[in-house]
Amino acid sequence: MSRPLHLTLSLVALTTCLFVAPVQATAAAPSELTPSQDEAPILTLHSDGERRPVSRAEIESSPLHEVTLQHFEGPQGSFAGVWLDDFLDSQNLDASATLRLIAHDDYTVFITPQDREETRYLLATRLDGDPLMLTEFGPTMLIVPADAQAVEAGTASMTHWIWSIRDIQAQ
């Protein structure tokens, strides 16, 4: 039994659209969340031979932004945090430094100054308004809002996404 020609052409057109349609960027917007007052350290910053603990309140002292997306590892919703470059500025880190981000499971990501020029990274501290916890890929995670849909579709690299960050080293 054969399909009618118009049905076959419709299926071909739909399939073509699915594979050819450009992936749209996910945009982050300023958040109306109140910055955290939690002074408990959630990560350690390494710079100029020194180590210092950084709290959620310190991270969120920069303007908060939110983006709604599906993280490729499962969590979905409204992620809130600060732009990585704003965080670096607030911590007086050298803009020319390469960053090494280390997760609690020792997974490591390097972010170069060139990477930061080409892409905006969001240092997320919350999901749907609640603080990210270690059991939920927290207490911080680095996401790339502009690449979210492409990463989910498998057409962009996820190598700069990291969760459960415990250390940021400026090198």
Q: What is the pLDDT along the chain (171 residues), one digit of tens a residue?
A: 444 444 333 333 433 333 333 334 468 899 999 999 999 999 999 998 999 999 999 999 999 999 987 676 767 788 999 999 999 999 999 889 999 999 999 999 999 999 999 999 999 999 999 999 998 889 999 998 876 676 676 666 666 789 999 999 999
Nearest to 16 by CA among 4, 8, 27: 8
**Parallel, antiparallel, or unpaired: how do β-strands 41-47 and 29-30 relate?**
unpaired
Calpha distance 148→67 (Å, rounded): 10
Q: Which amino acid is at 32?
A: E
Q: What is the pTM of this model?
A: 0.80
Which pLDDT does position 22 carry in this prediction?
A: 35
Query: Hey, is 52 helix, strand or coil?
Result: strand
In contact, 75 and 136? CB cutoff 8 Å? yes
Report the pLDDT value the prediction gives residue 108, as an integer from 0 to 100.
96
Q: Using CA atoms, how far apart are residues 26 and 67, in angstroms rounded to an integer?
A: 7
